[in-house]
Amino acid sequence: MKNVLFMMLLIPVMAISHSGEGYAVLENGMITPNPAKITEFESGLAAHNKTYHGSGIFGARVYWIANGKNTGSYVWVMGPIPWSEIDKRPAQKEHDTDWNKNVLPYVLPQGDQTYWRFHPELSNFQKDVTLKNLLVAIYDIKRMKSKEMIEMLKKVHNTMVEKFPEETFSMYTNEMPSMTDGQDLAFVSFFEKLAWMGLESKFSQKFDEVNGPGSFEKFLKDWEDITHGKYSSEMWIYREDLSGLDGEIKAISRQ
């Protein structure tokens, strides 16, 4: 539901300190190809992923960004995978040679590499998902406000799960945040048809039903106090033709 997500845009970023080992992260690489070499870029990327990232924990998926300042760029995603497993990634000279020869020559210098901690306790995967479209919202938060953010996100999660159980979504926090880029929390909605974007909802009413009368109004005031009020929202289109893995995500793998 579009309005559900727009209400989620009111949710700030939370900064969470490392609490131990074993949690899973996504490795995201944003790549912008030379517009004159897109065919060569896609061909090289697809072949690379099918060969080196086609199965297992090091499998990768690719998305195309459809709006915003990053329109036309691609996001290469591996995971969720524990940091400890990334340590075990085998060194493959032929892997690096292939990437440097068949992908990098067609890429522009600008790019971005981020690592996002997956929070299953703040996500909702009650059913298996076939990837098609993602709506990815990124949030910024003021320093020293992680405790307040965590509590607010719990209330939003509880409302979504109770009142909108059919909605599949996930939350991630940046493992290496910066005070300058505002990329601290990602709220990701999974949907199939663009008609989903035009659906209406009554999130504020449902929030009050779950958390008590007047709770949503208080939520908005608290949000204003602890966030910078900056966010971006991008639609990512899954490109199975460029990916190593297929688009099937089992709910059990995200619990």
Residues of the chain with pLDDT under 70: 1-21, 229-230
Amino acid at 69: K
Q: Which residue's structure tokens are 């307040």?
A: 148
* pLDDT of 13: 38
Secondary-structure percent of the chain, ordered helix, strand, coil, rounded to 5: 40, 30, 30
Instruction: Assign domain 2-244 one CATH number from 3.30.70.100, 3.40.50.2300, 3.50.50.60, 3.30.390.50.
Output: 3.30.70.100
Q: What is the pTM of this model?
A: 0.88
CB 53 within 8 A of CB 59: yes
* pLDDT of 5: 46
Residue 65 three-state SS: strand
* pLDDT of 45: 99
Residue 225 three-state SS: helix
Cα 59 to Cα 4, 9, 37, 154, 237: the distances in Å are 31, 30, 25, 31, 18
* pLDDT of 10: 44
* pLDDT of 21: 57
Does the N-terminal peptide bond of residue 90 adopt cis geometry, omega within 30 degrees of 0?
no
